């Protein structure tokens, strides 16, 4: 069971915060073209969408494509909690217990987050 600062956050809010933390915009994850209004709304809602450039690009996917969360089993709240806790000194076992994940997952994601947001850049 999750027990952390983001555990009560609604799915939509958690997704939008995770997208913001990773700098994801409503654009094609392959060619970068802006998504049309309807596709952009679906994209922001976490649904699978097709690139607006139908004949020029064959991308079909979700906002997680081409991000560290692609094919990850972490939900958006768990990612946000790891992202937040990355900035705080805490034992991996305590973080894992609070998030309902393994200490190995905490180690793995600390490394991934460090690659994306080096501590020097965050300060």
Instruction: Report the SS3 class of residue 56.
Output: coil
pLDDT for residue 119 is more than 60: no
pLDDT digits over 23-54, tens only? Answer: 899 999 888 899 988 999 999 999 999 988 76
DSSP codes joined into one string, 10-43: -HHHHHHHHHHHHT--SB-TTT-PBPPHHHHHHH
Residues 94-114 have pLDDT tens digits of 777 777 888 888 888 877 777
- Nearest 5 degrees, angle CA 7-CA 10-CA 14? 80
pLDDT for residue 3: 55
Instruction: Read off the pLDDT of residues 54-99 as tens digits, 9 standing for 90 and up.
Output: 678 888 999 999 888 888 888 888 888 777 776 666 677 777 777 7
C-alpha to C-alpha distance for 65 and 67, rounded to whole angstroms:
5
- Pair 123, 106: CB distance under 8 Å: no
Domain ranges of the chain: 68-116
């Amino acid at each position: 069971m999750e027990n952390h600062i983001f555990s009560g956050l609604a799915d939509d809010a958690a997704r939008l915060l995770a997208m913001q933390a990773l700098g994801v915009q409503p654009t094609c994850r392959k060619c970068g073209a802006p998504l049309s209004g309807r596709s952009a709304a679906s994209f922001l809602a976490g649904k699978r969408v097709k690139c607006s450039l139908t004949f020029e690009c064959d991308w079909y996917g979700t906002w997680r494509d081409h991000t560290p969360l692609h094919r990850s089993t972490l939900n958006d709240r768990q990612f946000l909690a790891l992202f937040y806790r990355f900035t705080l000194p805490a034992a991996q076992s305590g973080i894992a217990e609070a998030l309902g994940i393994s200490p190995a997952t905490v180690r793995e994601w600390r490394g991934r987050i460090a690659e994306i947001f080096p501590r020097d850049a965050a300060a």
